[in-house]
Chain A
Amino acid sequence: MAYKVDHEYDYLFKIVLIGDSGVGKSNILSRFTRNEFCLESKSTIGVEFATRTLQVEGKTVKAQIWDTAGQERYRAITSAYYRGAVGALLVYDITKRQTFENVQRWLRELRDHADSNIVIMMAGNKSDLNHLRAVSGDDAQILAEKEGLSFLETSALEALNVEKAFQTILLDIYHIISKKALAAQEAASINLPHGTTINVGDLSGNMNKRTCCST
């Protein structure tokens, strides 16, 4: 399979991009993977996919990101993509209160369909539109703390915090993975040969495979 012959990275993490329609998920993805922003973008139908490889604590990590259609009815198709994901970027639009109110529903979706240890980052996007703000940073921070999520405000347009949001998710995942690997090593009292790729789940989009983050 792909990951066995491709040794260009040490880890491969599957991330899902979720949140209401029109909050800017696809532009966050294009900003992160291609450093592009398209004002005239089409609404996403079904799922889109992109990757980017970057360094996390000296390791080469490939982020495999699935961008999903936000409209509720599409969950019939998109929720299948939560399986095997080790991270989620849950996006709302700081200028649309309703998209923030719906964060709870998205969390429920993740609880129902994703692995329980999934790392979740909440992103309040469109921070460039501060004059139209309808969700305060404090409100979001309170929710994030209550739900145990990381939180950042982002602007895909101005390339603000997009990189940091993904970096944070990937770092959190990496920490969980390395802790688990360490625990496993100790338990087995053997050392992993240097350079071994630890399967952290959905290495080639396999939806049936369990991740090592799952319980």
Chain B
Amino acid sequence: MSFGLQKLVGDSGMERKRIDDYEPGPIPSPKPLDRFGFIKQEFNTSPEGLSKSRTANDHEREERRVRKWRKMIGIGGSDWKHYVRRKPNVVKRRIRKGIPDCLRGLVWQLISGSRDLLLMNPGVYEQLVIYETSASELDIIRDISRTFPSHVFFQQRHGPGQRSLYNVLKAYSVYDRDVGYVQGMGFLAGLLLLYMSEEDAFWLMVALLKGAVHAPMEGLYLVGLPLVQQYLFQFENLVREQLPRLGEHFTQEVISPSMYASQWFITVFSYSFPFHLALRIWDVFLYEGVKIVFQVGLALLKYCHDDLTKLPFEKLIHALRNFPEDAMNPDTLLPMAYSIKVSKRLEELKLEYEKQNGKQAQSGESSGKQK
């Protein structure tokens, strides 16, 4: 089948090639990849962040870190729960510094609670993938090649990456037919699949959306996207409270967070942020919950505050979707994010939203029809 993919690249300066000519099998990959497997782009000066200037010293420090982590986890994660119970703050501190990349997949499964789900549900994933059919199958297929298209694992049509992505998403759409498949979920699944098997990735999706450890995230994808709306409401208020001058500027320029922050929440920063930053955010997100998304969002705005307050509407929107390289360095951005206190206000704003939303749902409906 060719779908709409049988096309030549236009005059975007990219290499001309025919996607359709590729059959499953190893694709020739003359393009240089970054250390995460994304195709390097010339205009992107440093897609892999810090790794460029790695010294022997850094390498040694990394090795020591890995050894510490291995000890903490135990064989196959056997000591993990014990360690977390005894020293939760050490764990938190270490996760905030970043989980070593070679252990990331395992640790993510441990901290998200997905490992337990997997063990409690043997054979379920296979059942969902092989025997069930989903109403979302065509929707999923349509988006497969549009999920991390610049990553070598997902690039090959019908290759192992695309197949795994399809399987995980299809399985989830059957597992929870109310959620089904919603655009954005593919980026979650895709990110996970770079660090674990299909089945593990599936159960991690379940853990997140159904709320194994933290509040369930399925509201991000349910009809009406209720949780997206709530998060945007909370975020808008936090901006006004924590960055009043910028908040006022946003009001004047009529900028709403739905114009720039929906993707942050819907894909937990995995859609368009540098991958090394997204991973660091995910480390903390899986352990501490969604508040890190708010904190990182606020930290970005805070970091760029003085520039943003000078910009008129269009430039402002552009700036909010294209943060400068230095703003996205995890080692400066994340400490800034941790220092922003949001937990208490998030709780209060949630209640406020629920109170308002009860009324809004009805009045919004009727005013929408009043044309």
Contact = CB atoms under 8 A, between A and B. Distances in A.
Interface string B129-155: 000000000010011011111100001
Given A21-B142, A45-B271, A51-B314, A39 B7 contact: yes
Contacts of A39: 5, 7-10, 14, 19
A38 B12 contact: yes
Interface in B186-233: 186-187, 221, 223-225, 228-229
B224 A76 contact: yes
Contacts of B5: 39
B276 to A, nearest CB: 18
A154 interface: no
A46 B6 contact: no
A42 B263 CA distance: 12
A73 B262 CA distance: 14
Contacts, number: 134
A116 B369 CA distance: 12
Nearest to A115: B371
B75 interface: no
B368 A113 contact: yes
B347 interface: no
B10 A37 contact: yes
B143 A157 contact: no
B149 A132 contact: no
A51 B313 CA distance: 12
Given A36-B12, A37-B9, A42 B313 contact: no
Given A21-B143, A37-B12, A39-B19, A73 B221 contact: yes
Given A22-B142, A43-B143, A93 B4 contact: yes
Nearest to A215: B371
A92 to B, nearest CB: 12
A37 B13 CA distance: 9
B362 to A, nearest CB: 16
Contacts of B182: 71, 73-74
Interface in A133-161: 156-159
B84 interface: no
Interface string B225-266: 100110000000000000000000000111110110011001
B368 A112 contact: yes
Interface residues of A, number: 49
Interface string A64-108: 100001010110110010000000000001010000000000000
Contacts of B143: 21-22, 43
A43 B183 contact: yes
B2 interface: yes
A41 interface: yes
A126 interface: yes
Given A93-B4, A129-B4, A129-B6, 12 more contacts: A21-B142, A22-B146, A37-B11, A45-B267, A49-B259, A73-B224, A74-B182, A95-B4, A112-B368, A113-B368, A204-B254, A205-B259
Interface of B: 2-12, 14, 19, 139, 142-143, 145-150, 155, 182-184, 186-187, 221, 223-225, 228-229, 252-256, 258-259, 262-263, 266-267, 271-272, 312-314, 317, 368-369, 371
25 contacts: A21-B139, A21-B183, A37-B10, A38-B12, A38-B14, A39-B7, A40-B145, A40-B149, A41-B146, A43-B143, A43-B146, A45-B184, A45-B187, A45-B266, A46-B263, A71-B139, A74-B182, A76-B223, A77-B225, A77-B229, A80-B258, A129-B7, A157-B10, A159-B11, A205-B259
